């Protein structure tokens, strides 16, 4: 019985090999009684073997004659009567285990490596190894070699928290689940995503492209309402965290210009008690492409660095901290360091990331449905995420400790 490999994907070859191994082992009942040490060695052999298949991808042939001219020859399993000693084959062969005439499989990964004989009992473990190797190889190929990945996926992949709710449920509503998976695949219903000849113009503001990006980030219809509220909801959450953090005694102002230092209004201004240290932080929720996320980050730094360089000249310590959270609920890795620099405990940041992501996610879902339904849209109560208080009074220092702030 020859193991045939006629080129094509490594996955297919491995699947075919696993199939042969499975069928053979089921029929012959070999590979048993190996201890852990031996299995470890064999695992390495399988790795070498798989590497060899990978290296020879597309060049291996199922004919033994042709194979002989190739180094190494194709994997094949020969019948028992052909003793492996007579052959210089470096691939699995059925052989005699030397014990009670029981069958086994001999594997020699390369001509230089040792011959390994797989006897009975180890069949499950060996199959497990092959499965594991296959899984790791696939995952590795998916993350490093599959270049066709959507821009959104690249951002999602850069932080595990961006996707964790799909596994554990987490603080995300069912309606947000329904929204987010389509959104991340660019499958939301909107004019730009249609293939028919219909107009791609925005149904609300007349912009030439009613794309997901446009609806969620810049449409004049959503911008003054929910898009701004989404930004403010993140700001509110961060404000709450700062007030519990190590820098809670610093002077905190939200969305206020620094008196006597220009008109710019950073989202967060934190001034140390001795007024020698200034921290400016600004929230942004860009659409998920690496470029936009990075640009969103850089823009904040450039903007405030140049605006407050005179403070540096006066000998003050000035830090600019962008807070970037993707509008499809993805966590931009460097944002963690920004929050820590704002005096928030690292553990607290870690704990709150899911809530911040789901806050943005829930708001974005509302931005989308508001765009589609227009005046007929009624906002469902927020069950997950952090809803910001109604209006803007919470941004004022005086009312911060004052009467109860109503939720929007
Ligand atoms: Zn629009």
Query: For the segment 221-237, what is each residue's pLDDT rounded down to a tens digit?
Result: 998 889 999 999 999 99
pLDDT the model gives residue 370: 95
How far apart are the CA of 214 and the centre of ligand 1, in A?
6
How far apart are the CA of 201 and the centre of ligand 1, in A?
8
pLDDT the model gives residue 157: 84
How far apart are the CA of 158 and the centre of ligand 1, in A?
29
- Residue ranges per domain, the chain? 10-145, 212-400
Contacts made by residues 17-25, CB under 8 angstroms, sequence distance 24+: 17/53, 17/75, 17/130, 18/127, 18/130, 18/131, 18/134, 20/77, 21/92, 21/105, 21/126, 21/127, 21/130, 22/127, 24/77, 24/94, 24/105, 25/105, 25/123, 25/126, 25/127
Average pLDDT, rounded, for the chain: 76
How far apart are the CA of 362 and the centre of ligand 1, in A?
20
On the CB side of 239, CA atoms within 13 Å amount to 26
Q: How far apart are CA 218 and CA 371, in angstroms?
A: 12
Q: Is 181 helix (H, G, I), strand (E, B) or coil?
A: helix
How far apart are the CA of 202 and the centre of ligand 1, in A?
5
Query: For the segment 200-215, what is each residue's pLDDT rounded down to a tens digit?
Result: 999 999 999 999 999 9
Q: How far apart are CA 288 and CA 154, in angstroms?
A: 8
Element (H, E) at 34: none
How far apart are the CA of 231 and the centre of ligand 1, in A?
18
Q: Which residue stretches of the chain have pLDDT < 70?
A: 1-129, 133, 136-137, 141-142, 145-148, 168-170, 397-408
- The CA-CA-CA angle for residues 82, 61, 40, to 5°, reads 65
Is the overall model pTM greater than 0.75, yes or no? no
Q: How far apart are CA 323 and CA 23, in angstroms?
A: 56
Please enumerate in sequence order all residues whose Cβ is within 8 A of that of 279, keeping only pairs 6 or more positions apart, or say none.
247, 250, 268, 269, 270, 271, 318, 319, 320, 321, 341, 342
């Amino acid at each position: 019985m020859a193991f045939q490999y006629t080129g094509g994907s490594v996955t297919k070859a491995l699947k075919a090999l696993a199939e042969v191994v499975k069928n053979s082992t089921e029929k012959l009942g070999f590979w048993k009684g190996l201890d852990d040490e031996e299995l470890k060695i064999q695992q390495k052999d399988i790795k070498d073997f798989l590497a060899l298949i990978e290296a020879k991808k597309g060049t291996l042939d199922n004919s033994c004659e042709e194979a002989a001219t190739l180094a190494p020859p194709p994997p094949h399993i020969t019948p028992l009567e052909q003793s492996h000693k007579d052959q210089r084959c470096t691939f699995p062969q059925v052989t005699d285990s030397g014990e009670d005439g029981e069958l086994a499989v001999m594997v020699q990964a390369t001509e230089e490596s040792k011959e390994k004989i797989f006897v009975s009992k180890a069949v499950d473990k060996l199959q497990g190894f092959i499965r594991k190797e296959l899984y790791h190889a696939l995952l590795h190929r998916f993350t490093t070699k599959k270049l066709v990945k959507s821009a959104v996926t690249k951002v999602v992949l850069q932080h595990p928290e961006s996707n964790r709710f799909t596994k554990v449920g987490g603080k995300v509503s069912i309606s947000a689940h329904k929204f987010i998976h389509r959104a991340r695949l660019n499958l939301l219903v909107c004019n730009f995503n249609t293939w028919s000849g219909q107009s791609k113009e925005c149904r609300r503001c007349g912009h030439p492209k009613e794309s997901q990006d446009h609806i969620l980030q810049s449409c004049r219809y959503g911008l003054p309402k929910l898009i701004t509220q989404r930004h403010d909801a993140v700001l509110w959450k961060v404000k709450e965290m700062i007030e519990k953090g190590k820098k809670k005694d610093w002077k905190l102002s939200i969305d206020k210009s620094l008196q006597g230092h220009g008109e710019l209004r950073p989202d967060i201004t934190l001034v140390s008690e001795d007024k020698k240290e200034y921290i400016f932080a600004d929230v942004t929720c860009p659409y998920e492409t690496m470029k936009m996320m990075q640009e969103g980050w850089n823009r904040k730094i450039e903007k405030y660095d140049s605006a407050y360089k005179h403070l540096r000249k006066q000998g003050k310590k000035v830090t600019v901290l962008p807070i970037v959270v993707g509008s499809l609920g993805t966590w931009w890795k460097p944002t963690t360091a920004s929050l820590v620099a704002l005096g928030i405990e690292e553990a607290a940041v870690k704990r709150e990331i899911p809530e911040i992501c789901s806050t943005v996610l829930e708001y974005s879902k509302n931005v989308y449905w508001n765009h589609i339904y227009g005046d007929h849209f009624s906002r469902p109560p927020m069950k997950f995420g952090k809803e910001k208080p109604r209006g803007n009074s919470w941004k004022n220092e005086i009312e911060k400790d004052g009467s109860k702030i109503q939720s929007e």
